Structure formats: C-alpha cells, structure tokens
Structure 1
Amino acid sequence: MPVPLHRDARATAERLAVWFGARLADATDVVVSGLDVPTGAGFTNETLMIRLTWWDAQGAARTHALILRMAPTRYQVHPDSRFAAQVRLQRILAADTDLPVPPVLWHEEDPSVLGAPFMIMERVDGRIPADVPSYHRSGWVAGLAPSKRRALWLAGTDILARLHALDAAVLGLDFLPAGGSRSYLLRQLNHYESHFTFYAPHEPPAARHALAWLHAHQPPESGPARLLWGDARLGNLIFRGLSPAAVLDWDMAETGPPESDVAWFLHLDRHLSEGIGVPRLAGLPGRAETIRHYEGRTGTRLRHLDYYEVFAAFRFCLITARVTALLGTHGSLPPGTDVPLHRNATRLLEKVLDERTQAPSTASAR
C-alpha cells in the first residue's frame, strides 16, 4: 500500500529542478516532471516516480527516469527511522554483490530541500506482484500459467538464499543491528514490547498473547547471523519476465537468523491469500516445498521456523494496526471507509498461534 501523494507536485518539481541543476555538470534548462506514486510502492517511505530532463554541454537533450524515496515523516510506521542506514546498505549491495539492488545515485541529507532527507535511485522497469488487490485475487500473477507462477515463487526464494549467503562482515555491515538468533530475538521482542502502544494504542489481546508466547518459547541459538532483508516478500520484487530485476525496501534490514526472513516471506503470502479469504493460486509452491528449495540452495537447515512464523504474524499484526491508524489520522481514506487490513492480520495471528499451541512440539523446524 503506497503512501499517497499529499505534497504540491508543481512546487516539488520546481525545487527538485533547482537541486538537480546544482548537481548536473554543465546542465541547462533542467526540468522535473511526471511526479507520481509507483504502483506497488510500500507504506514506510514516500516514494515518487520522476522524469528528469536537461540539455547537456553539447546542446543535446537528455532524459532520465528515476525514483525518489524520502525518509518517513507524516506516515511513520516505525518509531525509529533508519533511512541513512538504508541508503548506505543499498549502495553497498548494489556495488559489491550480485543482488539486483537499484543503484542510489544521490543521497540528500538536508531536510530543508523537500522536508525530509531523500535518495534518488535508478528506475527499474518491470512488474511487481500487487498487495492491493492481492496478486492471488487478480492481476498479472493470477494470469500466469501455474508452471510460471511456480518459477516466479522459486525465483523469489532464490533471492533469499543469495542474500543469506552474503558475508556481512566482509561487506562492512557493522552499522546494522547485529547478533545471533538469541540477541536478535531479545532486541526485536524488547523493541515491540517497549513500543507496543505506538503500533497499536488499542492493545489487541491477540498480539499481547503472542508476545507472551514468544517470550516463553524462545528457541536456542541456531547458527550464525546473516544479513536479513526484513520485509522479504514477492511484493518487494520487480520482475522482468519471471526473473527478479530489482530487490526493494531495505528499511527493516538487519542481521540475524535467516529463519526470520523465510517466515516473513511465507506469512505475507499467507496473509494475501488465506488471510483475506482468497484461495491461494495454483502452482505456487507450498510451505514444505519452499523450505526444501531454500535448504537445497543454501545447504543449511531452517530451524525453529514455526516459532519465527508466530513472530512474523505478531509483527505484522502490530504493523497493520499502525498503518490503519495512520490512514485514519491523516485522512487518506474517505470517512467511514472500512479497512480490513488489521482485522485480517489479527485473525491470522490468532490462527497461527493456535496452530503452534496445539502442535505436539514448538521446537521443531517443520
């Protein structure tokens, strides 16, 4: 769900034209146009498509399609913005790995230009599996043959395998929150507990129940920490054909157990199908096949994944509570509009937690 465009498009374009003019050597008649919110953009940061046009020193017209992403201001989903760290990470991944991460061309730290720091990225052409309406309900993914849907899903899973194979120390990612699974869980649970009412002022009982369960059932240490995408899901991939052309949205990135990413990847897809009452698309691999594929690619075993699925459902419940509140507070929807996002997330959390508490053991990976 993208952050809606609330700023004055003309004034923003004029400010950006001056800003670009100071950064493009020998450029004249700089014009910024085409400001629009891209389909599939996330809610954490304000994201705009822009078209930059100018005349170079040889008198030739130049044009460049770009993406502008701003640090959160009005729609702040998380209490702490790690925008500068996100920019730094994207630059490292684009330059030093084979992950398809859009290059960051500029990073403006001065908030006086547009009201918040921002970065300018290359625009990557392709298609994104939509959250609204869910790709299980309609759209280009639903229009694919089952065999192609399977290939699409496994290509997304391969991105996780490639990401988790990276060496965070070699890449110099010590500016990210770090630690093994024990310290990762302690840091995460403490964060959500201390900011519980920031995310969900109404304190949903299901989330409180899940938090208590997560504290009581923390699994033992399960291997070295890996770079985590954080918001790992099909909707944060741009596909060209059936191959990922860009990996997006690194604002939740840190280091920790890879199970956290895999569980989030599985849970967000479950939310967009079962969670909203829509049948899951035929051809998409299920949980067991996804696990086998990931483990085959990485040569490692996912441990305690059932625990991390409860953790994913818990986090998503709180985040949807925050997003729903922001939509109401800032008038992004007409008065009286029913937003089932948080209700659906809460119901699915209750179901996931019930599955875990009814299982004979909560310590197994399967």
Structure 2
Amino acid sequence: MTASRCWGSEAMAVDNVIVAPETRSLDGLVAALTPWLAAHMPEARGLRIENPSYPFGAGQSHETILFDACWSEGGKAVRQGCVVRVKPMRHTVFPDDLFEQQYRVMDVLHGHGIRVAKPLWIEHDPAVLGAPFFIMERVEGRVAVSIPPYAEGGWVAEATPAQRRRMWEDGVRHLASLQSVPLADFQFLAGPKGVRDGLAQEWDKYVRFVQWISADREWPVLHAALDRLKGLWPANQPAGLVWGDARLGNLMFDANFDVVAIMDWEQPSLGGALQDLGWWLTLSEQMHGANADRPHLEGMGTRSETIALWEDLTGLSAQDVEWYEDFTQLKHSCLGIRLAGLKGRPLPDEAWLAQRLKVA
C-alpha cells in the first residue's frame, strides 16, 4: 500500500524503482525548503540541504523525499539526515485526511520510547512546497520493500533462517509494543459521534471507503462482503491503537535484524488492537507465507506462532482474529481498487474479489 519511509541508505540499495505518487524538481525543493528550514533553526549557521532523493521500492501514497541538512553550530559542523513527507493533494489513496494526525501519533509514540522516527516540524501552509508537509529525522536501516517483493530477492531473501527468525520475532514484539501506550494520549484520533473508537470507528471508516470508490463504479461484491462481515460480528473487540498498515515492510531493521523504526502512520485510529494483528497475519501470508504465490521464507514465524507471541506480549486474547483477517481482505480490496484507478491500471476482477472476500 504505502510507505512513508524514514529510510536509510541500505534500504535504497535494494531496488531502483521510484513509486512516489508525484515527483518534482529536487533542485526546486532545495531552493524552497532551505530558507524555511533555516528559519526553524535559528542557531544553525550556513545551513544547506544536500543529497535530496526519492526512496526506492515503496512510497506509493505520499511524496517522500530524503535529504541531509548540514550546518555549523557552536563552531562545529553538523549533519542530520532528514525526511520530508508531503501531504497528497490530488492522488489521495484514502477518503480520510489524517495527515496532521499521523504526525501527532508519531510524536506521542516517540515520547513513550516507541521506535518511530522523531518528528521535528509540521508546516500547514501550502505556500512553501505546494502542500502541507512535515519533517522527521531519518533513521538508518534496511526495509523489506514491496516492489519487487522482498521474498523474491534482496537482503531478506538472502538472509539465513536464523536471521529471519530474529527479524520476525522482533517485528512482532514491536507490533505488540504499540498496545502499551495509554489510549488516553491518542484521543485526538477519536471519530465522530457514535463511532468515536473501537471496532465501530474502523468499521465506519471502511463503509465510507466502499461508498467513496463506488461513486465511479458500483461494486456489489464489496457491499456483499460488508453484509457478510456484519452478520459474523466478532464478540472479541479489545480496545487499542490501530497502526493502520502493520506489516514487515513497514519496519526498518539494522544489520542485526533488529527493528530500529516503525513506519507508515497515515491511517491510525482507536479501532482496536486486533485490527493490526489481523492485518499483519494477512500480509505475512501474502508476502512470505507457506501458501503465498512466491518463495516461502524459512525462519519466519507461522501464523499460530505469531498469534501466541502477540497474545503473550500484549496480555490480550486473539479470539475471533479470523474475522479481522477477513476484514483486512475487504480493506485491501478497497485499496487495490483505488490504487488501480489512480495509476490507470486494470481494475480487480469481481469474480476474483468475490473469492477473496468469501462471497462467491
């Protein structure tokens, strides 16, 4: 889906495909951003921006640009890796605009010691770069990219089973760690009256998503899937923060296969802890599972191992997680339809969707 990347140089070496929704003159970006950044860093002398570049292999929803900020301070030379993330104004993947909220979520999480890139500044005025944007510190590490799929080549595919085991376990530990932060700190994520939090909030989001993409073409299969899920409504609805794109490809790892950053916070909610577990299980199966249409990655934990470790770490029950996995399939179907329309690609086949959504 997405990739708001706090990328490192190793991540870029994996692939050479830029998938940003829009690109611009990087010289123009430097010219516009340098005086803005200098105004926000009054102690910096001779500030300049170097090495601007787009990340490779992911970043389909937001324009994301890497750069180095260089200056002198107190007589010492300073170099800071940064990432600027620009709000999408035309190629919007989601019906909900949560650009400011993703910045605030990262700020809260960083304050609680969760491994996210440190947010630095947010600019709401579109005059600087043509749209609002925020800047965060750049974290160095490696990303399991989606394009091409990490199971088919690159550092993940080339790792040993023991290294992948360490990667999987630390990934699940960091997924679980998100549920340790008090929900009271995220009340700015509350939805409208009647669907302020919990499953009701996340359900409302995707009911509206179906309506949004149905404005151009009706999708009876999506409505049938909503009816099916509603009829199987889960009893287990633990409260919790929703990351929104909980998958291996949205974690950054160091050379020891340990997580150094959790990324992609563009669709957070208070929709409940099982939303992310269901998403993680579904994407793991699609990307590297035993039944995936690509090489199986020995060493990655199985579905049952992931559930058991997550339950142990969070103290929560994963009962009814199958429902959340089916809900994830609906979410991904909405995203697939929207991205295909934005990119001018063929829309998903309805018969295939019906099978995927269990309404065939």
Band of TM-score, shorter chain: 0.7 to 0.9
* Cα contact 1:32–1:50 (8 A) shared by 2: yes
- Picking from 92, 102, 116, the partner of 2:131 is 116
* Cα contact 1:5–1:36 (8 A) shared by 2: no
Partner of 2:173: 158
Partner of 2:252: 238
The 5 A counterparts of 1:90-101 are 90-95=106-111, 97-101=112-116
The 5 A counterparts of 1:1-366 are 2-4=19-21, 6-56=23-73, 58=75, 60-95=76-111, 97-169=112-184, 172-177=185-190, 179=196, 181-197=198-214, 201-220=216-235, 222-240=236-254, 241-273=256-288, 277-328=293-344, 343=348, 347=352, 350-354=354-358
What root-mean-square deviation, in Å, do the aligned CA atoms of Structure 1 and Structure 2 show? 2.5
TM-superposed deviation, 1:310? 1.0
TM-superposed deviation, 1:323? 1.4
* Cα contact 1:276–1:344 (8 A) shared by 2: no
- Deviations along 1:97-155, whole A, 9 cap, x unmatched? 12101111111111110011111111000001111111111111111111221221121
Local SS of the residue matching 1:195: helix
* TM-score, with length taken from structure 1: 0.84
Give the unaligned 5+ runs of structure 1: 329-338, 359-366
TM-superposed deviation, 1:352? 4.5
- For residues 223 and 213 of structure 1, the distance between their equivalents in structure 2, rounded to whole angstroms, comes to 18
- The letter of the residue matching 2:147 is V
- For residues 344 and 151 of structure 1, the distance between their equivalents in structure 2, rounded to whole angstroms, comes to 38
User: In 2 relative to 1, CA 207–139 (structure 1 residues): closer, same or farther, beyond 3 Å?
Assistant: farther
TM-superposed deviation, 1:236? 0.8
TM-superposed deviation, 1:257? 2.2
Percent pairwise identity: 31
* Cα contact 2:243–2:265 (8 A) shared by 1: yes
* Cα contact 2:71–2:79 (8 A) shared by 1: yes
TM-superposed deviation, 1:350? 4.3
- For residues 66 and 187 of structure 1, the distance between their equivalents in structure 2, rounded to whole angstroms, comes to 35
* Cα contact 2:57–2:148 (8 A) shared by 1: no
* Cα contact 2:102–2:266 (8 A) shared by 1: yes
* Cα contact 2:82–2:138 (8 A) shared by 1: yes
User: In 2 relative to 1, CA 83–7 (structure 1 residues): closer, same or farther, beyond 3 Å?
Assistant: same
- The letter of the residue matching 1:323 is L
- Deviations along 1:16-66, whole A, 9 cap, x unmatched? 1111121222434332222211235432221110111234463x4332211
TM-superposed deviation, 1:164? 1.5
TM-superposed deviation, 1:190? 2.9
- For residues 215 and 223 of structure 1, the distance between their equivalents in structure 2, rounded to whole angstroms, comes to 14
User: In 2 relative to 1, CA 128–186 (structure 1 residues): closer, same or farther, beyond 3 Å?
Assistant: closer
Local SS of the residue matching 2:84: strand
* TM-score, with length taken from structure 2: 0.85
* Cα contact 2:66–2:83 (8 A) shared by 1: yes
Local SS of the residue matching 1:255: coil
User: In 2 relative to 1, CA 148–25 (structure 1 residues): closer, same or farther, beyond 3 Å?
Assistant: same
- For residues 234 and 50 of structure 1, the distance between their equivalents in structure 2, rounded to whole angstroms, comes to 24
- The letter of the residue matching 1:109 is H
Local SS of the residue matching 2:277: helix
Give the unaligned 5+ runs of structure 2: 3-18
- Deviations along 1:59-107, whole A, 9 cap, x unmatched? x433221111111123210122111111111111111x12101111111
Partner of 1:333: none
